[in-house]
């Protein structure tokens, strides 16, 4: 069974940093690109970032470019999102999602975690 479990969400002040983690099981993690997608409470979905299987290519939404960094540790079946200079508009549930196609960034999400809530507030 494919499982993705996010953690690290909490309440944080504007301007501070936070690191999210996602541990996966049930598939060969190092064969697939991975993504972060977020959803502000009661709002729609927004793709945030993606990373290829070998970490060679990382992409970001314009709204987080230069502030967020995606990374992965294939030995630990883990995906990370380092979030710096947080803003109130970054408040959202953050989901990690598996790319359906394979190791390269295809942008199609076939399995999602349950999400972790980041709240940016003073």
Q: Which of 49, 51, 7, 12 is nearest to 29 (CA)?
A: 51
Decide: is 31 part of the binding site for another protein (CB under 8 A): no
Nearer to another protein, 17 or 41 (CB): 41
Decide: is 7 part of the binding site for another protein (CB under 8 A): no
Q: How far is CA 30 from CA 36, 54, 115, in A?
A: 16, 7, 21
Rounded CA-CA distance 45/94 in Å is 10
**Shortest distance in whole angstroms from residue 36 CB to another protein:** 11
Decide: is 107 part of the binding site for another protein (CB under 8 A): yes
Q: How far is CA 73 from CA 13, 14, 15, in A?
A: 28, 28, 26
**CB under 8 A: which stretch of 14-22, 25-33, 59-67, 70-78 binds another protein?**
59-67
Judged by CB under 8 A, the residue of 8, 21, 23, 45 near another protein is 45
Judged by CB under 8 A, the residue of 51, 72, 115, 120 near another protein is 115
Decide: is 44 part of the binding site for another protein (CB under 8 A): yes
SS3 assignment, position 27 = coil
Rounded CA-CA distance 83/20 in Å is 8
Residues contributing to the site for another protein (CB under 8 A): 35, 44-47, 50, 59, 61-62, 95, 100, 105-115
């Amino acid at each position: 069974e494919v499982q993705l479990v996010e953690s690290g969400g909490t309440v944080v002040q504007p301007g501070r940093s936070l690191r999210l983690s996602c541990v996966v099981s049930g598939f060969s993690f190092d064969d697939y690109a991975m993504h972060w997608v977020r959803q502000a409470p009661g709002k729609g979905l927004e793709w945030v970032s993606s990373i290829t299987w070998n970490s060679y290519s990382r992409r970001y939404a314009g709204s987080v470019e230069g502030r967020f960094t995606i990374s992965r540790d294939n030995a630990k079946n883990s995906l990370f999102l380092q979030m710096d200079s947080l803003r109130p508009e970054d408040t959202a549930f953050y989901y990690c999602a598996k790319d359906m196609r394979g190791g390269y960034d295809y942008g199609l999400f076939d399995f999602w975690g349950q999400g972790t809530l980041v709240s940016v507030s003073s």
